[in-house]
Structure 1
Amino acid sequence: MKTCELSLIKYILFIFNLIFAVSGIGLIIAGSLILSDVGEFGHFLENRILAPPVVLIVAGCIVFLVASLGCYGAIRESYYMLMAFALCLLIIFIIEFAVGIAAATYKSEFQTALKDAMTNSMNNYETSKADKVAWDHIQTKLECCGVDSPLDWTKRPVSCCHPTRENAPVPSPEHCKDAKPGDDYLYSYGCFDELQMKARNSAKVLIGVGIGVAFIEIIGIILACWMASAVKNKD
């Protein structure tokens, strides 16, 4: 009976680890996509904001390696390897939980930090090439102008404007500078709300993926401990 139970758990745990390894690859892909999506605006974002997708990529690599350990431990029916596997899963779960708490705590500071960074960068637009490139990129990419509105600029850059029809030329710097909110060739929305929305959407993806993997990890801990107990009783 014990041998039958052990064989059943062995195959269940082996299949679980295959799924777990795939979830590790999923973490790497999700973290990479989010980092590439938000990272291009890293000039305005603090490292703490960009840290979660990086942690997700690292966690994905670790998850893939740990899943390999779990598969090997299940095949060998090794009590110590199975307990090491369960301990690794527990450590990963605690780290993910801590990162989630840190991200939730920092959420209230995010808006202030982002707006301050954008305002300071805007003030350096004429004197800093990095700030100029960053603002021209974000305004063109997100189709926005200024921090809260086009009125934030004292000398509005041409990246705040766009052609009014397909294949039409971009309005000249003089036309863009003299444009008023409501003109059809001037972006009317501020970049702060657009960038904040993009960061929030990325955070939702991170939270969803994190919860899914955490659920898988809890199941893995239970299965590993169950099989380790069965191996110990058999011996």
Structure 2
Amino acid sequence: MAVEGGMKCVKYLVFFFNLIFWLCGLALIVVGILVQVSLHSTFKIKDVSASGAPIILIGVGVVIFFVAFFGCCGAWKENYCMVTMFAILLSLIILVEIAAAIAGYIFRNKVSAIVHDSLTEMIDNYKNSTQDFKTSVDKLQEDLKCCGVNSSADWRDFGPDGNSVPDSCCLNVSTNCGKGFMTDASKVHVQGCSKAVEALLQKNIMWVIVAALVIAFLQIMGIVFACLLMRGIRSGYEVM
């Protein structure tokens, strides 16, 4: 009876962990979509390589979503083959996540170059772009309290006087507030947006790392409990 009770507990633990995996997979899909939209709509980053991280998040989220559903069914029905397949697939997911983490660490320095190039392109295209594009750039500078790429001097070609910046660079935004005050720190933000965007991305990456560690721990525990359940089913114990 002790073994029966123990295996029954393991069965429900496997089901519970899979429910958490299912929610984690859904969360990864949502986060991946939000990051993708943010990179291309808010930050206007057009570099294709910048989409690598959010696409990986979405892909892993979709796989976890379906694998977790598969694991829930296997645990509930006490099907040895389904539970075994779940453990194998979850192990493969962990390997993929480790590979993605290593790749992210190796290419981490490329983020600065992508941000710098994208912001430079934004400034170059600002005057001849659509109103939606200008609004996005202005909102970026207002929200991050920055101006230009490296400094407000990057807007030297913005006005005919060579000493004006968009109004979104101003400490207190108002019509024509940036005219003639390109390097005046008392009127406009002189710090560039490159460092500000990088800092924002690094802050969000830290949260992603924490979430990834939590998910990895849950996945390992899920594999352990799945193996225990497999052993109980294979031994012929009743776990209902």
Scaled by the length of structure 2, what TM-score is found?
0.81
Q: Give 2:174's aligned amino acid.
A: V
In the alignment, which residue of structure 2 is the partner of 1:74? 75
Which deviates further from its counterpart, 129-138 or 55-64? 129-138
Where structure 1 has 5 or more consecutive residues not aligned to the other structure, the ranges are none
* Structure 2 segments unaligned to the other structure (5+ residues): 159-163
> Which residue of structure 1 aligns with residue 203 of structure 2?
201
Q: Please name the residue that 2:229 is paired with.
A: 227
Q: Please name the residue that 1:106 is paired with.
A: 107
- Comparing both structures, which one devotes a greater share of its residues to helix? 1
Corresponding position of 2:161 = none
SS state of the match for residue 179, structure 1? coil
Query: What is the TM-score with the length of structure 1 in the denominator?
Result: 0.82
**CA distance 1:144–1:163, shift in 2 (3 Å):** closer
Q: Write the distance in 1 (CA, Å) between the matches of 2:9 and 2:185.
A: 70
Aligned pairs (5 A) from 1:182-193: 182-193=184-195
1:26-65 alignment to 2 at 5 Å? 26-44=27-45, 46-65=47-66
CA distances 1:130-183 after superposition (whole Å, capped 9, x unpaired): 86555334223323211111111222442344373xxxx7142xx523104334
Question: What code does the residue aligned with 2:167 have?
Answer: S
What letter is aligned with 1:31?
Answer: G
Mean Cα deviation higher: 154-163 or 209-218:
154-163
Deviation at 1:212, TM superposition (A): 1.0
- Compared with structure 1, are the counterparts of its residues 207 and 90 closer, same or farther at alpha carbon in structure 2 (3 Å cutoff)? same
Decide whether the 8 Å contact of 1:163 with 1:171 is kept in 2: no
Q: CA RMSD in A?
A: 2.7
**Aligned pair 1:162/2:163, yes or no?**
no
How far did 1:85 drift? 0.6
**Paired residues of 1:79 and 1:228 also in contact (CA < 8 A):** yes
- Contact kept? 1:146, 1:153, Cα under 8 Å: yes
Judge conservation of contact 1:144–1:189 (CA < 8 Å) in 2: yes
- Rounded Cα–Cα distance in structure 2 between residues aligned with 1:132 and 1:201: 26
How far apart are the structure 2 equivalents of 1:80 and 1:135? 54
Aligned to 1:85: 86
CA contact (8 A) 1:20 1:64 kept: yes
The number of residues matched between the two structures is: 229
Aligned AA for 2:221? I
Instruction: State yes or no: 1:141 paired with 2:149.
Output: no
Aligned counterparts of 1:17 and 1:116: Cα–Cα separation in 2: 42
Calculate percent identity across the aligned residue pairs. 28
